[in-house]
Amino acid sequence: MADGECEKVHIVMFPWLAFGHMIPYMELAKLISQKGHRVSFLSTPRNIDRLPKLPPELENLIDYVKFPLPATNDLPEDAEATSDLPYDEVQYLKKAYDRLCDPVARFLESSCPDWILYDFAPFWVGRIAREQGIKTASFSIFIAAFLGFVGPTWAIMGGDYRKTPEDFTVAPSWVPFRTNVAFRYFEIKRIFDVLEANASGVSDFYRFGTGLESADILAVRSSCEVEPEWLKLLEEIHQKPVFPVGQLPPMDYLGEEETGTWQWIKDWLDLQKRGSVVYVAFGSEAKPSQLELTEIALGLEQSGMPFFWVLKTRRGSSDKDKIELPDGFEESVKGRGVVCTSWVPQLRILAHDSVGGFLTHSGWTSVVEALSLERALILLTFLADQGSVAESLRLVMVKEEGRIYREKAKEMKGVFVDAQLQDQYVENLLNYLTANRPKRCT
C-alpha cells in the first residue's frame, strides 16, 4: 500500500435510528471524508433514502451501507426511525435494532475498518469490535454537560446513587464546580423510563453506560469554547481520551432540495417584515400532547406575532393519538400565522431574512442550526402554559428588555460557525485516529 494511502483511515459510523442522531453523524462523516478518509455509514434502507444527498465530491468516500431492519411482530413494516413511531413503541425499534448485531459483525469482519464510531444504542458493538481488533469511539450527539451530569459508568448502569426521579433534580457529587445543570422534576418524570428495561430487555442507561465503558475514546458534539469544564470532567470520570468534535453546523443549507413546498413558503416569508417571524418546530421526534398543543396554539394567538409553525400531528402510521388544533385557531390567525403539517426545508426557512426567532424543543441540532444563522431562541419543554408562551415570544422578539437574547444569538455565531475552529476539532480527532489505528497497513 502506498504511503499516502496508509495515512488514511477507514471509519465506520453507526448512529441510532433517529434523525436527530443520524444528521450529526452525517455532518461529521462529511468533514472526515473531505480530508480523504473513507467512511462507511450504517443504517437501514428507508433511513438512508431519507437522508440529505451527499455532495458529488464526497460520493466516492462515503459509502452508505443498508441493513434491512429485522421484522418483529410489534413493529409496523415501514417503521425504521423513532419519528415513525409513538414514543411508547420506540422500545420495539430497539428490539429490532439489537437484531442487527450479527449482520453488523459480519460487515465489520469483511470490511476490516480501523475504527467504528457508535451511538448510545448498540451496546453490543464494543464487544464485536474488540474481538476483531477494531478500535472504538463512543460518539455522543449529546453535549458534554449532559454526559457529565449522567456521570461515570457505575452511576449510569444501575448504581445505588440514583433510584428516584428526585435524585436527578440536583447536581451529582462527582461534579466539583457549581452548576445549575439538573433536571426539573416534571422533565425527569417524563423520561424516567430510560432507567428501566423495556421490550428490548435492557434500559437506555445500560446501553449508554456499556457503550462508554467499552470505548477506547469518547467523541462529543461539543467545543472547549462552550463547555470546557464539562469536557475536562469527562476525562476525569471516564479515565480515557475525550475529543470534542465541534458543534457540527450544517455544511451547506442551500444544499437542501428546492421544491414546490419551499416556493410557497418563500412567497409567504417574502411578504413579512425583516426579523418579525417566529419559526415554530419541535423536531422530527417530538409531538405535543393535545393539552400542550392547545396551550401552545393559544399562546401563539395571544402573542400577536407572525409565525410559521411546522406541526407533527402524529408519529407514524401506528400512532392513533392524533392531535388537533383548537377550533377556529387557523381562522383567527389567518394572514399572520401559517401551520404546516408536512416536511419543510428548515434551514432555508431559518436563513430567510423575515425570520427573527425560533420556538423549539431545545434539541441540540436545532439549537446549532438556529445560532449558526443568528436566530434568537425560545426554548419550550412542552409544559409551559399559554401565557408564558405569549410573553416569552414578545420578550425575545420585540421587547427592549429582551434585546440581550437577540444580541447573544448573533455573538454565538462566531463559536458555532467558525469553519477554521470546526476544522481544527476534526483534525485533532483524525490525528489521533490515524496515529492509533490497528497496525494493518502493509
Query: Per-residue pLDDT tens for 321-368?
Result: 889 999 999 999 999 999 999 889 999 999 999 999 999 888 888 889
**Res 441: pLDDT:** 47
Choose the weakest-confidence range: 321-335, 362-376, 401-415. Answer: 401-415
Question: Mean per-residue pLDDT for 364-375?
Answer: 89
Proportion of the chain above pLDDT 90, given as a percent:
65
Give 74: exposed, middle or buried? Use CB within 10 Å, 0-12, 13-18, 19+: middle
The three grid cell numbers given for residue 319, joined into one nine-digit string? 400512532
Q: What is the mean pLDDT of the chain?
A: 89
| pLDDT classification of 177: cutoffs 50, 70, 90 | very high
Alpha helix segments (H runs only) across 11-140 = 19-33, 45-50, 90-98, 101-111, 125-132
**Res 199: pLDDT:** 93
Is residue 378's pLDDT more than 70? yes
Is residue 385's pLDDT more than 70? no
Question: 3-249+418-435: which CATH topology?
Answer: Rossmann fold (3.40.50)
Choose the weakest-confidence range: 46-50, 219-223, 384-388. Answer: 384-388
Question: Mean per-residue pLDDT for 202-222?
Answer: 95
**Res 175: pLDDT:** 96
Is residue 273's pLDDT more than 70? yes
- CA separation for the pair 46, 51 (Å, rounded): 9
The set of long-range contacts for 363-370, using a CB threshold of 8 Å and a minimum separation of 24, is 363/20, 363/283, 363/285, 363/286, 364/20, 364/141, 364/142, 364/143, 364/221, 365/20, 365/23, 365/24, 365/141, 365/283, 366/281, 366/283, 368/247, 368/248, 368/249, 368/416, 369/249, 369/250, 370/409
Is residue 90's pLDDT more than 80? yes
**Res 256: pLDDT:** 53
Each domain of the chain, given as residue ranges in start order, spans: 3-249+418-435, 256-416
**What residues have CB less than 8 Å from 159, skipping those under 6 apart?**
none
Angle at which helices 290-303 and 386-397 cross, to 10°: 40
Q: Do domains 3-249+418-435 and 256-416 have the same CATH topology?
A: yes
| pLDDT classification of 258: cutoffs 50, 70, 90 | low
Side chain identity, residue 206 = Y
Proportion of the chain above pLDDT 70, given as a percent:
93
- CA separation for the pair 356, 375 (Å, rounded): 6
Question: 256-416: which CATH topology?
Answer: Rossmann fold (3.40.50)
| pLDDT classification of 1: cutoffs 50, 70, 90 | very low
